[in-house]
Structure 1
């Protein structure tokens, strides 16, 4: 019998102590003598490479699982890769590399998975080592160790190809900044977390936003805006959507992974359906006088009530709801050692939702019968107050049998993966707040203390020929207003111009009805053609049978968004006039708004400026559904110019709004006085290229973009951004006249 212990010659005592267990584990997956001897030989080899005991200890710990997954031939391959790494400047990465193999074996099943992984690491090392004189690496890759340390997390979240894409972006984005590259692979930068979310196997909200918005509006008559919050990939718990009553906005997770046999899109649909059911049937009530557990069980009954009503209206929802609803096994929670509130709630909720579920609990059966009786008796007339009675009674009844305050909260199989956090249900008079013992999803309110939640946009980096994911944070708000008298006075000064524009509008404004002649089937007889046909008959000729005409409604199907650059440079004074560029812009916007109101097109105005990529401000000045009135005039009166011009993000946000307009033709008109720039960008080409890419993205969505520039020297950069679709106004004082004319010419 082979004496394997004698063959193990490693001198580290800690390795000798571990060898017996490692040998048994290896024999369990690879009993062949050749395999075992190869394992021992490579372990001896790693003992002698001068890196101490840790490499061999880790090797012996992980290799049984690796061999079980990928085969005995991996022993030599792994040891050789670790040796090559150990004799390079990256010797500190040997142990993290070996440790990462365990996560790989648990996640990647394909036989060639290990080889692909090693090729990825070899390429990464080659691209990120600091090379001197073009051929010799003297300094280690600063991103390698943090990458390998975070590899278990990456492999839990991503496929192997997703990991490759995550690595590739970090190399290209920070190839000349090793310190920032290290932070990226430590998952400490916003774009690293954004790339992690983007590469996950699931559905991004941005890809299905329009579908969900149509679903909410079409089936539930709810047009509240949908906004995203960032899902933390390191949190294992479900991060629920929410209904923000104060800001009138629906918060949705920016990413949903497939779960329980449903795709991310299907889970999004279930979440929207549940939120819309609350929107339709739930009426909030004061919650100050209730204990947290009583509120919690009230929410359970209310969730089930609106879900049941939703399933009655749309029976197809039942499959989604029940698939995403957990069923914790009977007795899974130990009442003596754990707090079982969530466990009892999950089984209660399942019983209320699923008539085929046997809860094996007399109390749940009693409350199921009471709940079903109320649903039959009152249906949609039930209120949250009715559910409060049931929830409080159930909690009191079950509290008598257990101590809910003892031990840790039981969570396993208790999260319903489509329900919201129920903040919508409660109104609090005393805002001091109680500790929420149930760990609802974070509100992200710290990020947006006022107004709507921020939106995150990619930004094009021409130097690496790729987008920086979620690189720009954009905040939007309704612009404040002042007295409209200022705008009325401006219009009065341009009375003659306005009369001229009225004539132009009348010339291009379509008539309500247009006659289509020469129809064989139509609404009316075309008398001229009919007489001609009679003459042909009398003359023995074949008459033209197209003696009827029809009429069609002839109107413009046009949506226009005027995006105004409100950067600091608009405060400059025009020589010889004493007037600022901002005042001229206000006059031009006022005259154009008046003109478009006469024409009847769907028209909106927004302004933007930026204070680094972390704060792009987007101001709503006139909405598509608003008319030219004192409210809009008041907002124009209050315009202020400040900060810089990060144009790409503003164009993308304007495109977002234009793309949702029900119009055949969509025009984005950009008014600016200079090239894109911001204080955190040193390369003048960077934001120009990003703006060009934003215009291309708009074009792909069927939106035509045109720039009106009041910089006489702006031809070069404007042409690069907008192609040939731009107008340079050399005489800036003529802006109030030229801007409406440009619009009319573009939409004639």
Structure 2
């Protein structure tokens, strides 16, 4: 015992040895259990060596906090996690910050501390130290009253936690690789379909494999269990394989009358056939695909393993496997390929025979848990025509299209990603026009952690209440003088792409064609035309505008120094602008919003781009009423989704508000302000201009923080609109 004590204290400087002895004796006698005490005695010297004696002693007090609040098991997990972090941390200062974090979790979420420590290594390796801290802060932000949800988050079983892990922005994940994957697919197969990440609410099996159909491709966020280098190659291998199907699987197989096992084996044979054809055109694909065929000719012959062995045998001629099923499959395939590899029905014939063989061997096959092997191959649902066979089959096929990919036809007739293609910013669904309905989930920015909370806000679209009375008539007829001024200002603006105007007597560049013509005339003895210059001009307007109105309860306040409410002023200003844009002919839309917690963000469509500004739109605008709260970030993202569909040169989101984001489930005012600011930046990155027009009221305005000093303007009177709007149009034209 004396020798052991010397070994424990030997790692500590002389002036720290007494403090170390006091620290571990306190744990010895605290009643946390022998296991915790022994673990701390072993860990202390190691921790002192890697991170210093102060942290080794400090760990003792953290163990006490965790043991008291989370129990003995949590304390044991803490010691193991501390050792792991001390050995691998880049900076000992990280350990000090980590111990502060551990104590914070133990105090604020004691029911979750054990779950968090259990997954600590996974979080640290997946997200890095800073990412792990941000992830933990997000979990702690969940209400204390919702312990089950908080426990699910720290156990990594909630959809929010899984998505945070899956969407890590490292080089080996889908978001990091997407910019390089599209040109890779185009270079291989000369196709450019939209590529999207598998939705977070898709079945677990779908998240593990790629899929295609409906003109688009769905890829998993990552391939679990593979190194970063292998993940990069897996994404490429998946796209190369899907491209082979696009080229060589000409028609879909009818699924009528086939069992799930037969579907799987026919798909396997078709995979091998298209890969053989692809390798014939591009031999380098063999090495790319072979890398991931890891099946071995040993082990218990179960259905899934035999299918993996057959897959390898059909790709790799050097692979040897003496099992009768594998040998028969290889023989049938090689004979059919030699006869006519272009015959797609060979897959149907061979797959049917081999499926019967597995059935006769009485090998179990669970279609619900089956995952295609190897990992780069897609789920094969898109090569089957389920027809009206069953509702279940139709549902399965529909799930493949879970990531709704919107396309447009390119000039060459191929399908490609259009201006309205869905992005991972939000999961969008169709809305009913006659009732409020869930339409989308959007992330929300947490400024404390510097991370987006995925799928955090639910946007629901509600029909706007119609008012056909005097208020609508007033909006249609009032202040025609201002309408004329605004229309003249819009008409005078030139927000469009610059055009090259040629054959000018002076300008910014030489018109080469005119120069050649002048030189030819001069050499022919004729007087040359001196209009040999060109200049750039904007001769028209090409922009789309979406006006977004704040109808929260605070818009009942009066505009300062007037007797008119903020909402009434918003409605009048919008009506004037809409009448002017209608007169000029510019495309525009109008929507309104309010919110009642993050689960009920309400979006009211007043006028869509495709509809005219008629009496019905005026009635909906007049019928708006002040209610509820102002969750601005989510509706900015949702309105931005509409604008992304527009092909205009410039796209403008004009937010008319009192400038005070708030909601009843958020205590920190800065939280929603920073989220709205982040949403504005997101739209700016997508080429959408966002302006905030705030009406001067008693509400505190955060407009400049949200929209920027050049992106916001305050209006105290409707009379100022003709002065304010030119500022916006001039910026768009610049």
Do the aligned residues in 2 keep the contact of 1:258 with 1:267 (CA within 8 Å)?
no
Provide the secondary structure at the position in 2 that maps to 1:389. Answer: helix
Q: 1:296 pairs with 245, 248, 264, which one? A: 264
Deviation, 1:646, is 2.1
Higher relative contact order (CA 8 A, sep 6+): 2
Residue in 2 that maps onto 1:523:
513
Contact 2:630/2:661 (<8 A) preserved:
yes
TM-score, normalized by length of structure 2? 0.66
Match 1:694 to one of 675, 679, 704: 679
Task: State the 1:166 CA deviation.
Answer: 2.1
Cα pair 1:85 1:93 within 8 Å, conserved: no
Q: 1:87 to 1:503 in 2, by over 3 A?
A: closer
Q: Pick from 229, 253, 262 the counterpart of residue 199 of structure 2.
A: 229
User: In the alignment, does 2:217 pair up with 1:240?
Assistant: no
Alignment of 1:495-574 (within 5 A): 507-508=492-493, 514-515=501-502, 522-525=512-515, 548-550=532-534, 560=544, 562=546, 564-565=548-549, 567=551
**1:312 Cα deviation after fit:** 5.9
Does the aligned pair in 2 maintain the 1:342–1:409 contact within 8 Å? no
> Which residue does 1:133 correspond to in 2?
none
Quote the Cα distance in structure 1 between the aligned partners of 2:184 and 2:607: 26
CA distance in 2, matches of 1:526, 1:442: 56
Query: Separation in 2 of the partners of 1:671 and 1:342?
Result: 59
Q: Is the 2:428–2:441 Cα contact (8 Å) retained in structure 1? A: no
Find the counterpart in structure 2 of residue 155 from structure 1. 121
Q: Secondary structure at the match of 1:98?
A: helix
Partner of 1:351: 313
Query: Tell me, which stretches of 5 or more residues in structure 2 are unaligned?
Result: 6-22, 405-426, 432-437, 467-472
Q: Could you tell me how far 1:403 is from its partner in structure 2?
A: 1.8
- In the alignment, the residues of structure 2 paired with residue 583 and residue 524 of structure 1 have an alpha-carbon distance, to the nearest angstrom, of 53
Does the CA contact (< 8 Å) of 2:629 and 2:663 recur in 1? yes
Partner of 2:99: 122
Deviations 1:483-507 (A, max 9, x none): xxxxxx9999799999887766665
| Aligned residue pairs, count | 658
Map residues 156-305 of structure 1 onto 2, 5 A cutoff. 156-159=122-125, 162-163=128-129, 165-167=131-133, 170-171=136-137, 174=140, 183=151, 185-187=154-156, 192-197=161-166, 203-208=172-177, 221=191, 223-224=193-194, 226-230=196-200, 239-243=208-212, 251-256=218-223, 259=226, 262=229, 264-275=231-242, 278=245, 281=249, 283-305=251-273
**For 2:309, what is the secondary structure of its paired residue?**
helix
Alpha-carbon distance in 1 for matches of 2:271, 2:280:
14
1:470 pairs with 2:454: yes
- Which is worse superposed, 72-81 or 204-213? 72-81
Deviations 1:547-590 (A, max 9, x none): 8335778667965452524756699899999x988976885686
Aligned mate of 2:296, from 326, 329, 350: 329
* Deviation at residue 512 of structure 1 after TM alignment: 5.8
- Judge conservation of contact 1:475–1:616 (CA < 8 Å) in 2: yes
Q: What is the aligned-residue RMSD (CA, Å)?
A: 6.3
1:27-176 alignment, distance < 5 Å: 48-55=29-36, 84-85=61-62, 90-91=67-68, 95-99=73-77, 110=87, 119=96, 121-125=98-102, 128=104, 141-143=107-109, 146-159=112-125, 162-163=128-129, 165-167=131-133, 170-171=136-137, 174=140
What secondary structure is seen at the aligned counterpart in 2 of 1:419?
A: coil
501-510 or 281-290, which moves further after superposition?
501-510
Change (3 A) 1:59 1:108: closer
Residue range with higher mean Cα deviation, 672-681 or 200-209: 200-209
SS of the equivalent of 1:472 reads: strand
Determine if contact 2:463/2:605 at 8 Å carries over to the other structure.
Answer: yes
What is aligned with 1:459?
445
SS at 1:514's partner residue? Answer: strand
Q: Secondary structure at the match of 1:330?
A: coil
Gap change, CA 1:608 and 1:349, over 3 Å in 2: farther
Per the alignment, residue 614 of structure 1 pairs with 599
What do residues 153-208 of structure 1 show as CA deviations (whole Å, max 9, x unaligned)? 33135329725642455358748976779745455766555554456866454445
Q: Distance in 1 between matches of 2:89 and 2:159?
A: 33
Q: Take 2:78 and 2:340, find their aligned partners in 1: how far apart are those partners?
A: 58
Q: Any idea what SS the aligned residue of 2:701 has? A: helix
Q: State the SS of the aligned residue for 1:523.
A: helix
Q: CA deviation at 1:293?
A: 0.7
Distance 1:44 1:326, change over 3 A: farther
Structure-2 separation of matches of 1:85 and 1:415: 46
Name 1:725's counterpart in structure 2: 711
**Contact 1:204-1:255 within 8 A present in 2 as well:** yes
Q: Secondary structure at the match of 2:454?
A: strand
Name the CA distance, whole Å, in 1 between partners of 2:681 and 2:443: 15
SS at match of 1:688: helix
| Secondary structure of 1:457 counterpart | strand
Question: Residue 733 of structure 1: CA displacement?
Answer: 10
Q: For each residue in 1:516-540, what CA deviation from the matched residue of structure 2 results, as whole angstroms up to 9, or x when unmatched?
A: 5566772125999999x99xxxxxx
In 2, distance between residues paired with 1:216 and 1:636?
48
| C-alpha distance 630-559 of structure 1, shift in aligned 2 (>3 A) | closer
- d(CA) in 2 for partners of 1:420, 1:570: 51
Deviates more, 1:493-502 or 1:191-200: 493-502
| TM-score, scaled to structure 1 | 0.65
Task: Report the equivalent of 2:635.
Answer: 650
Alignment of 1:727-742 (within 5 A): 727-728=713-714
Q: Distance in 1 between matches of 2:346 and 2:462?
A: 39
Counterpart residue number, 1:20? none
More deviation in 367-376 or 567-576? 567-576
Residue aligned with 2:702, SS: helix
TM-superposed CA distance for 1:294, in Å, is: 0.8
1:427 counterpart residue number? 386
Is the aligned partner of 1:391 residue 2:356? no
d(CA) in 2 for partners of 1:164 and 1:585?
A: 46
SS at match of 1:429: coil
Match of 1:26 in 2: none
Deviations 1:681-732 (A, max 9, x none): 3444432332123334544666542124466667833333222423455556
CA apart distance, 1:297: 1.2
**Structure 1 residue 434 displacement after superposition:** 8.4
Deviation at 1:298, TM superposition (A): 2.0
Mapped to 2, the partners of 1:659 and 1:645 lie a distance apart of 23
Distance verdict in 2 for CA 1:309–1:406, change over 3 Å: closer
Q: 1:727 to 1:156 in 2, by over 3 A?
A: closer
